[in-house]
Structure 1
């Protein structure tokens, strides 16, 4: 039989009597126009096919923009592809005022091509789980140390944390390089609601300087957890827990250390909201720092981690499936970085963030506070804070020698940005091509509407006028779903397994006077044994890279293996490999290494 020009193939899997109705994975279909023709046309598929799916259509063209299509049949195919996806992938609401999500409550609804099986490493949590039913307080510091000995003795970072957690210099280090490096910012003026005077902090500054002068020099930083103010705290083990909304002032010294110099536990100044200082009684100062760490835990988990990496990835994935056909080059570039967010977020919503999940049972921000915090966090999002060069410059971290997060994030961002720019140049000749790509414009418009809720003050684009704008946004998406997630997720167990360093809940209210707690009292603020163990058992799972871990910019997808794309991938991998070596060399000189943004430690997407 002789075939003419074939541009589309239609496949269907039919159940046959006597055979099991199993899914089939189709790699591709190869067609010869005649039996004598040596040339083979390949129609790639690389999908699971189910009888329930009916017909699927395959095309043999490589990635292209809609304006490059020359046949009506292929234009119609693009449009049918999107219409089908839009019926299947609908927008839903997880919390009012937060980014919208895919309207699915079951992973099975995703089907085989959007779900995956993550090969988990074996991590021994038997000791943790043996205490998960014990609804009592920790009896002593010694008991906490014994618990740590059984769980953290092989973790060199955790051992460092346990040894140094009470030190002011380490407290400051964590603000820059711990699980949550996104909160600290440089200030040149004090917030009006922070009751700190220059005289109050003079003993903690250079003798020949003042607070005003140090702020002018860019040496003063602030942590402000205003987003937690007046949130309802959870009830854990039938007992009330408590939240604070602290402001913490820090100073970068001439010795190269960042130390806290004042902590106010609530937003509204007043006689029952004292400013705690390093010169106060040791228990008062330690407890004030623990309150800051507790607040940081809430913001880290729900805003830095869940909102900024998981939910952003899900918004972009859903919009990509709905607005960019599979043949669109941006669909092909992005999907390896965002596809897995759908499954992992659906699982999170029905387990961790649901009734009887870890937030409900063990964390101060429980089911009542979660929607309020996510809505507030969405309102406070700024596009500039999601783009690394802008973010570290605005927060005064770009020139801070001890901020390894900023140094490494900038280099990873730059490598990704060059990779994305090269990819865009393959398909867009000029800015007009960007402006006239209706599929691309629908994509960014939907992200602006469904993800950023149409809020113009966030500063995110609602359309692209230039290739430069497009390149920045796409780089942000890939960075957030790979590098940022690696930094804020895989560091969790290291900094949290020593419970006093990052308590997930506090069992007593914040102090309203100084001198009201003793050294023994400090540990009575910690969460009870079972809730502590519940949190750590979850973090133990979240902090382990998969056995089938795919490193940043390594691609298994068929379309990355030919043509000019191969050269782009080789170039970015070479650059990332050099960066990994530089980070390893630096870390070998550090007492406490910072490995989380080494490209060989960054997973290509959010899979946990």
Structure 2
């Protein structure tokens, strides 16, 4: 393979190789370093490096002495078989400790290649690692190439010992080529690399594998341990998006289910533990494995705390004073740095959480009807409410199975609080709205209410758009099987006001479960994974659409794998703390039956829910029915910016529809997304055919919107709103008490205690707010929408210019959001809790900021 193409002595191509040693990225190394520098860790690793003969080498030259070799591959000259010429091996040389462009924990090394003009221009390279440990290859830069100049390779990949691979590891220049325009000498290399990434669909995946393949969700239950779950995906009963295949062993009791355990993700999806987000996501593992048992110890030790909250003040005490801990429990938390980041112990023997944003200004604003309604359009789940277009509201459930589930709310009940407006007039004027969870929950209520602590309703809430542009609730309908639905109306005094507060709590419990399982997990995390898999299987790193979409998949497969292991698995954190319990993912599967890809575009979603009307003369071509709808107003500007950027980028490479149709990689990608990745919905007529430039622009815009802005809108407000559990309870344990019962008398005597006995109890609260605090945080090195982690991601000047315009537009939108939040006439921007809507503010600082749109679903 070497062939001596670099035979002319004396002339060299100088290169710089930037990498990160394994131990720098090792979780245990980071936690043991504490406040020590990452540089010390890297040097320590270098000092332990081994050359090919297994001899110890000097710290700063650990990678020299034939430890790592590179071979350049020509993009302009072939070897006679049609493949690009391969040069002689060159080895890493001296360490460059002062390179000014190095990022944190990165190490740079010289490398020199012999130069022969007959070789042509390099377009790729092979790399071999002769050491025992893997390393993370960041980039390679070649300088002063005769008649060409500088060439950059953006790598960002783990490289294991060369014996781990059946084919040499190859990296391509950061140029961009459609398949038909690929330089001839690189065509076969391009095809071979995609074949490697696809694998052959067999075998158990190993740590160093880079294979992307599909599987169903057959790994959530534990049949051998007596805790099975239905297999989700691959059937009409339980359709679902696909996840990455692991090839693990099957369980004894169910040969179709995989054994639970460590989750495989393709090696480059598991970046290691360099990022703060990785550090925090692995906190979820610590939470599952270490903290939950500690919480049980705390709750069971009645000398420390009772198992119930007795007042709202006691709930606020989690943030204002904390829970006093015995020394033996505190000592179990202290050695775990991730947990010390979550819990504020500070040597005071207390477990203390940061105060959620929703109570930082007003302690009681959350209880108001105005805030209850505002959070439906400016909270953490702002995309479920819809305009009421018929009365009474009807059900889509089969009446033969469930009976007539038409709403029992009457016009007379609504008109009590309509100020003289009739229901017909309000519907005609587009002023009635509904938050409807009836059909999602009703089929599962009997099962849910048979769980140990669950007592829940399926809810409908009807709201009215007031003259000042804000919403107010008019009625809540609480339904359960075999009984007449209960309708509760607003009240401000006496026991009726407590009943009304409890009714709102039951609505929010529905909303919390639907949000976590559908709006958050299903509609962002789960539906995106098939796109990430297919992109890696069929779009070369040289492909323009790969370069467009790749940043929007970063860490998603990894965090989804972690979710299957600790969050959505049988007995996992979601099942423990949210209403549907063991039926959680099964319920989300039923909802997925009605998922429509094209409706994920924000304009289509708003029109479908009746929250917008198409109007060519209006901004964004839509007229919002609720003008002060923060999620929609900010979101439409972000959506338009994304679509404009995608349009300008795609136009660089696809001048005609024919170019789309003739792109073999692109067509294979889309075919597999539809037929395999979302194969349970493959026959739906709404899938774009990807035959036109507009098809591609719209589809890519939906993918980017979903991975960035939509996920940000439904994720980073979780702790700010839900950290105060009384505002967003996740469990309902009692029905509303009936007059003449002991519970009713308690409700009259102590409304707060009655409320707290109805919603999430203390143990589950501690678990829930610990998880959502992690999920609501940004990493220190997060890459936000309109940014890239490497300026050399492409060499195309037109693409770079369009991307710069995109970033500038997003910065402009940030300014507009700030202006709207300072407008006192826009009541839904702050609400009674005085919390401005910033979830679609693009940039953010590290930590829990209640703003920021990362490029991808990275947490």
Separation in 2, partners of 1:336, 1:555 = 8
Specify the SS of the correspondent of 2:644.
Answer: helix
Counterparts of 1:148 and 1:330 in 2: how far apart (Å)?
Answer: 46
Q: Bigger shift: 316-325 or 369-378?
A: 369-378
Q: Answer yes or no: is 1:140 the counterpart of 2:303.
A: no
Of the candidates 806, 811, 816, which is equivalent to residue 582 of structure 1? 816
Gap change, CA 1:323 and 1:495, over 3 Å in 2? same
**1:605 partnered with 2:856:** yes
1:563 aligned residue (774, 797, 806):
797
- 1:266 maps to 479
Matches within 5 A, 1:41-190: 42=151, 44-46=153-155, 47-51=157-161, 52-53=164-165, 54-60=167-173, 62-69=175-182, 71=184, 73-87=185-199, 88-94=211-217, 95-96=232-233, 97-104=239-246, 106=262, 109-112=265-268, 114-117=270-273, 118-120=275-277, 133-134=298-299, 136-150=307-321, 154-160=355-361, 162-190=363-391
- What are the residue-to-residue correspondences of 1:395-414 with 2, within 5 Å? 395-397=609-611, 398-414=624-640
Larger mean CA deviation between 77-86 and 356-365 belongs to 356-365
Contact 1:507-1:526 within 8 A present in 2 as well: yes
SS at match of 2:137: strand
Aligned residue runs from structure 1 range 309-320, under 5 A: 309-320=524-535
Q: Residue 63 and residue 146 in structure 1: after superposition, are their counterparts in 2 closer, same or farther (change >3 A)?
A: same
User: Is the Cα contact below 8 Å between 1:261 and 1:277 reproduced in 2?
Assistant: yes
Distance 1:137 1:60, change over 3 A: closer
- Aligned-partner Cα distance in 1 for 2:838–2:314: 30
**1:544 aligned onto 2:795:** no
Q: Distance in 1 between the 2:685 and 2:419 partners? A: 39
Structure 2 partner of 1:390: 604
| 1:233–1:369 CA contact under 8 A, matched in 2 | no
**C-alpha RMSD of matched pairs (Å):** 3.0
**Residues of 2 paired with 1:497 and 1:109: CA distance?**
31
Which has the larger helix fraction? 1
Report matched runs for 1:204-219 at 5 Å. Answer: 204-207=417-420, 209-219=421-431
Hey, what does 1:257 align to over in structure 2?
470
Change in Cα spacing, 1:337 to 1:328, as seen in structure 2 (3 Å) is: same
Stretch deviating more after TM superposition (572-581 or 188-197): 188-197
1:447 is matched with which residue: 666, 669, 673?
673
Counterpart Cα distance in 1 of 2:578 and 2:658: 50
Change (3 A) 1:128 1:60: closer
Residues 475-514 of structure 1: pairs in structure 2 closer than 5 A: 475-509=701-735
Name the counterpart of 2:835: 592
Give me the whole-angstrom Cα distance separating, in 2, the residues matched to 1:234 and 1:146.
35
- How far apart are residue 159 of structure 1 and its match? 3.1
The structure with higher relative contact order (CA 8 Å, sep 6+) is 1
Q: Which runs of 5 or more structure 2 residues have no equivalent in the other structure?
A: 1-7, 9-115, 200-210, 218-231, 234-238, 247-260, 301-306, 322-351, 395-405, 612-623, 824-829, 844-851
1:534 aligns with 2:767: yes
Displacement of 1:108 in angstroms is 6.0
Contact 2:433–2:464 (CA under 8 A) maintained in structure 1: yes
Counterpart for residue 523 of structure 1 = 756
Range 172-181 or range 512-521, more displaced: 512-521
Shift of 1:260: 1.4
SS at match of 2:793: helix
Q: Deviations over 1:543-565 (max 9, x none)?
A: 11111121211002322465222
> Which whole-Å CA distance do the structure 2 matches of 1:453 and 1:510 have between them?
43
Q: Over alpha carbons, which structure has the higher Rg?
A: 2
**Which stretch shows the higher mean deviation, 515-524 or 489-498?**
515-524
- C-alpha distance in 2 between matches for 1:422 and 1:217: 39
In structure 2, distance between residues paired with 1:29 and 1:277: 68
1:13 matched to 2:128? The reply is yes
The answer (yes or no) to whether the contact 2:647–2:697 under 8 Å persists in 1 is: yes
User: Relative to structure 1, is the Cα distance of residues 514 and 220 closer, same or farther in structure 2, using a 3 angstrom cutoff?
Assistant: farther
How many residues are aligned here?
597
Q: CA deviation at 1:233?
A: 8.0
1:112–1:248 distance in 2 versus 1, CA, 3 Å? same
Aligned to 1:245: 458
Q: Tell me whether 567-576 or 395-404 shows the greater mean CA deviation.
A: 395-404
Give the distance between the partners of 1:308 and 1:317, measured in 2 at CA: 15
